Structure 1
Amino acid sequence: MDMELTIQQVAAKTELSVHTLRYYERIGLMEPISRATNGHRSYHLKDLEWIVLLKRLRTTGMPIAQMQRFASMMRLGDAGISQRRALLEEHEADLLGQVKELQETLALLKDKIAYYKAWEAGQVQR
């Protein structure tokens, strides 16, 4: 059985604002959301799963334009799989570069912290 959720319920579950959900639909990141008999948006499980993916992509710093390209590729169905894979591999490579840079920065910070602790303990002379 497919669940039906209101926009407020989806906002609460995804921690995105109602405004953001409407914006994502308006700019084509999402297919048009079905409407209940009262005209209100009626989200389904597939919509929620897609929103969670969009949120994860956004969290990793993927630009909206790239997310829109990915959404367009999704609309191609199986014909878009190779393009989607390539786009995600490119994004993965970018993320791995960011992780490496963060690890290097973290190592530098740890060295500085260790130095300052040693200095405070009188183990380092000026």
Structure 2
Amino acid sequence: MATDDLMARALAALPEVDGPLSVEVIHRLADTSDLATPMTIAEVADALDLSPHTLRYYERVGLVTVDRDANGHRSYDAEAVRRLVFLTRMRLSGMPMRDLQHYVELVDKGEQTVPERLDMLLEHRDTIRRQLRELTLSLAATEYKIATYGGNTGV
């Protein structure tokens, strides 16, 4: 299931959601119960639309821990896949690698770091909201130009 499929699944769930949409959608998106685990690197790469190189890099820089099977091949359990779903969403939203690394270090240190993790996520949310406002303005400017050239803006 590629990232586009994951996003389609999440977006399809929107009409069914009561309350905060983003939280419920991400819970559903991170649900790995329908994935066969353990998974190989090729299966995870295909499921998340990432390259095996990217997965190996995430492992090398400490973002995800991956077990090895009897032959020494990477074996991704459900927890690793859930973490990768989160990491890919954060990267797509523009979170820098150093911030992701710090966040994962905090997670690995335990519950006492929850306040710092929360602060990081609140700050990142503010950044995303600002980006959304900027993109909305850019979309409006693009729609304006399309209309000035006689095109249909589809609105």
Which TM-score tier does this pair reach, normalised by the shorter chain? 0.7 to 0.9
Q: Which one of the candidate residues 79, 83, 91 is aligned to 1:50?
A: 83
Indicate the SS of the match to 2:86.
Answer: helix
**Contiguous gaps of at least 5 residues in structure 1:** 119-126
- Is residue 22 of structure 1 aligned with residue 56 of structure 2? yes
Q: Which amino acid aligns with 1:101?
A: E
Instruction: State how far apart, in whole Å, the 1-side matches of 2:46 and 2:82 are.
Output: 14
The equivalent of 1:121 in structure 2 is none
The structure having more radius of gyration, on CA atoms, is 1
Instruction: State how far apart, in whole Å, the 2-side matches of 1:18 and 1:111 are.
Output: 41
Q: Which one of the candidate residues 31, 43, 62 is aligned to 2:95?
A: 62
* Number of equivalent positions: 117
| RMSD (Å) for aligned C-alpha atoms | 1.7
TM-score of the superposition, structure 2-length normalised?
0.70
Q: Which amino acid aligns with 1:46?
A: E
TM-score of the superposition, structure 1-length normalised?
0.86
Indicate the SS of the match to 1:39.
Answer: coil
User: Alignment identity in percent?
Assistant: 38
Instruction: State how far apart, in whole Å, the 1-side matches of 2:48 and 2:144 are.
Output: 38
Instruction: State how far apart, in whole Å, the 2-side matches of 1:81 and 1:103 are.
Output: 32
The equivalent of 2:144 in structure 1 is 111
Instruction: State how far apart, in whole Å, the 1-side matches of 2:141 and 2:50 are.
Output: 35
Q: Which one of the candidate residues 94, 111, 115 is aligned to 1:78?
A: 111
Q: Which amino acid aligns with 1:34?
A: D
Residue 112 of structure 1, CA deviation: 2.4
Q: How does 1:24-39 map to 2 (within 5 A)?
A: 24-31=58-65, 33-39=66-72
The equivalent of 1:89 in structure 2 is 122
Q: Which amino acid aligns with 1:28?
A: G
